[in-house]
Structure 1
């Protein structure tokens, strides 16, 4: 039977004090809901159902924009938030009864390992359980229901903390994480047995454990060795705690694969990032999205790369790279900004206070300092003087600048697009180029320099006399 993950993501999260749904708050570079979906996918869940409610459209829009609007994610809306049991009823009403293992998990628990989910499903299949409970042993169990289980893992009851006797509180340290694997057939056949006879008037999925025990259906427990992976996020403070756990988890994995970090506490790397061996990540480095960094690079300090591709042996110093690529042996920064599909070929350079948007820089070409190049293509062996700007926007349209091979552009040059500079051309400093420059030509555009000897001395003398 195929396995299904039902991910509960309908809550508003009032403790977040936000206009956005709780599950859209970001842990590192991705929303909480994304991490839960990722864990379910990596665990091999063949069907993923996301139960949305508060801010439902924002959640849907995010996954659509991220390229995840495919058949592997199905959305079910819980219009009235009447508890976790009611959320599962909404899934049944929308999709019908689900067969096979059904894992119910939470979008605000972003740290769950895929292997933990796989272990839960394996236990459920092996014992033909109606319900398999994932448990943990946190240092302070006072906020959790206690699992009363026999030595063989058979669950007798889950007792809420406030209902425990002093003896039970002392003896029962194993806690319910709230994450379950159900037999889909038995779950949907019995979900209507849950009542809302409680102070909150809600339908709690936890009650299914007691219902199954009363029916004589098999219920057992799987214990998670690391309670951190089952930490929930209900506030911004808890979000920061979870982010630290994930930061350490990712960074330790990278260091184990041959990546160096001067201070791992000051390096933040997203889950989809790949970094090659012998690369060093310096403090205040952020690698987000689907960034790929090659081998023998130095990234940082104070650098942020989002959906960037970096080749081997590159230096990225105090630089921001967004949706752009640099090839091998490229130097960037300090304080460079590459965006919008910029592409630097081998041995090229983006220097200090340089911004490039949608620009291709050829092999060995240099943009050393204080320049903006937008919508341009540079050939190989080009040198761009400081203060050069491509004037690529006329207020309505974007136009391109084409620069050939081995071109020298002097300082403080404006290239008014559309314009083409031919191979081996030279453009003098302080020129405003509005027409194409042929290959091998010199192009200058300057007004005549006027010099009047003694004028300045007379001027200063006159000011002194006026005082």
Structure 2
């Protein structure tokens, strides 16, 4: 059966106290609304419509890669009004629509699939997601007759018997599209707030003798984020889920409480992660790696058997059996080969480093192509910027770069060359050559005494 999804993302979220639309606040490195979109896709729902209002342009910008469609709710007049604003999306569709909120990032794809399956199997017109909690104070209660849902009663409207009910409405639903569209025409805003409520659709369907069911799930999954406190709680829950997934897949995380791993990160078996590591974005880490404390790795691909110590790696690739750090900085668009040594206080910027090359300490390499089996002495600088433009340096295989060398770009150093320490290289170094580019040393004897500088 055809299925689609509506995601409610039109509110600003006053309680979160931010100029950023609430649904764009991140949980484990990803915007909450994008968590929900990804969940729908994992639940095999491809046709997703996001209902936007406050900060609409920004929400569109941050979700455009997800290939969703949009409906506009220019005024926030309740959850029912939000769905009315999406009627054009639902027009002429036949099947089921899942309705979820963009500020509830913890719901699992398995739960969405189970909700739709139950809805179809039981032949319901609507199926609600619910939870059972010990203290339901403030939540709308689910009143059942056997397996069938009879009504949703807001806390303030509950009688004594209904207050004893511990099953609550999660605000997430599955509807037959045609039943929902017909019911929307009957929604009223005749209430104290003057708003249209999606919960009233349930009453409309029941009055028409249509079947309404419910699926109970863990309360944790249904948590919505309305404040920074709740945002921190969602972060804590998802962080634990992510870390546990990696632990179960054979990764050693020495202290999960002080290790941050983004939701889209993949990590190979037998990798060991020490405390203080931050691993973000679409990072892939291979098998048998060792991540010593306090590194940040973002949107990067790390090969097998790599050792990283207290370093930053951004939007780059690091080959297998390579060591990085301590205190190295690998900037975006860098490609580090296999069996490479990137040592302490080394910065690599938009450069490729060939296999077996060693850049052991206190060196800057920017906009360069470096061959295999090269060796960089301490204090080498690739001078890639002339004040207006960046220029490229090429260094061939098996080159030896002496300490305190300046390679003034654009320049090429051919294969099998040596550069003497302290040289400033501005011209091509031919293959097999030794390049020396420094002033001749002159000793002036007796100069200190003549100048009366001797202490």
Residue 193 of structure 1 aligns to a residue whose secondary structure is coil
> Is the Cα contact below 8 Å between 1:7 and 1:106 reproduced in 2?
yes
Residue 283 of structure 2 is matched in structure 1 by: 291
Within the alignment, does 1:215 sit opposite 2:217 as a pair? Answer: no
> Is the Cα contact below 8 Å between 1:134 and 1:177 reproduced in 2?
yes
> Is the Cα contact below 8 Å between 1:149 and 1:221 reproduced in 2?
no
Residue 151 of structure 2 is matched in structure 1 by: 157
Residue 175 of structure 2 is matched in structure 1 by: 182
Spell out the pairing of 1:146-295 with structure 2 (5 A cutoff): 146-151=141-146, 153-169=147-163, 171-224=164-217, 226-295=218-287
CA distance change for structure 1 residues 454 and 240 in 2, over 3 Å: closer, same or farther? farther
CA deviations 1:35-79 (Å, max 9, x no partner) are 000111001113101111111111111223xx32x3xx1111111
Residue 337 of structure 1 is matched in structure 2 by: 329
Residue 387 of structure 2 is matched in structure 1 by: 395
CA drift of 1:358 comes to: 1.4
CA drift of 1:139 comes to: 4.1
List runs of 5+ in structure 2 lacking aligned partners.
none
Instruction: Tell which deviates more after alignment, 394-403 or 153-162.
Output: 394-403
CA deviations 1:95-119 (Å, max 9, x no partner) are 5243211111001000000010111
CA deviations 1:213-236 (Å, max 9, x no partner) are 222110111100x21111100111
Q: In structure 1, how many angstroms separate the alpha carbons of the residues matched to 2:313 and 2:400?
A: 26
Query: Residue 409 of structure 2 is aligned with which of 406, 410, 417?
Result: 417
Q: In structure 2, how many angstroms separate the alpha carbons of the residues matched to 1:356 and 1:150?
A: 67
Q: In structure 2, how many angstroms separate the alpha carbons of the residues matched to 1:261 and 1:315?
A: 15
Residue 136 of structure 1 is matched in structure 2 by: 131
Q: In structure 2, how many angstroms separate the alpha carbons of the residues matched to 1:24 and 1:37?
A: 12
CA deviations 1:234-254 (Å, max 9, x no partner) are 111111100110010011011
Supply the RMSD in Å over aligned alpha carbons.
Answer: 1.6
Q: In structure 1, how many angstroms separate the alpha carbons of the residues matched to 2:74 and 2:330?
A: 44
Q: In structure 2, how many angstroms separate the alpha carbons of the residues matched to 1:210 and 1:345?
A: 64
Residue 348 of structure 1 is matched in structure 2 by: 340
What is the aligned length?
455
Residue 23 of structure 1 is matched in structure 2 by: 23
> Is the Cα contact below 8 Å between 1:294 and 1:312 reproduced in 2?
yes
CA deviations 1:438-458 (Å, max 9, x no partner) are 111111221233434454467
Residue 55 of structure 1 is matched in structure 2 by: 55
CA distance change for structure 1 residues 126 and 460 in 2, over 3 Å: closer, same or farther? farther
CA distance change for structure 1 residues 460 and 217 in 2, over 3 Å: closer, same or farther? farther
* TM-score normalised by length of structure 1: 0.94
Q: In structure 1, how many angstroms separate the alpha carbons of the residues matched to 2:421 and 2:133?
A: 68
Instruction: Tell which deviates more after alignment, 209-218 or 26-35.
Output: 209-218
CA distance change for structure 1 residues 385 and 461 in 2, over 3 Å: closer, same or farther? closer
> Is the Cα contact below 8 Å between 1:194 and 1:208 reproduced in 2?
yes
CA distance change for structure 1 residues 442 and 219 in 2, over 3 Å: closer, same or farther? same
* TM-score normalised by length of structure 2: 0.97
CA distance change for structure 1 residues 457 and 109 in 2, over 3 Å: closer, same or farther? farther
> Is the Cα contact below 8 Å between 2:299 and 2:314 reproduced in 1?
yes
CA distance change for structure 1 residues 181 and 94 in 2, over 3 Å: closer, same or farther? closer
> Is the Cα contact below 8 Å between 2:353 and 2:372 reproduced in 1?
yes
Q: In structure 1, how many angstroms separate the alpha carbons of the residues matched to 2:98 and 2:355?
A: 52
> Is the Cα contact below 8 Å between 2:90 and 2:181 reproduced in 1?
no
Residue 189 of structure 1 aligns to a residue whose secondary structure is helix
CA deviations 1:104-142 (Å, max 9, x no partner) are 100100000001011110111012211101101234321
Within the alignment, does 1:108 sit opposite 2:108 as a pair? Answer: no
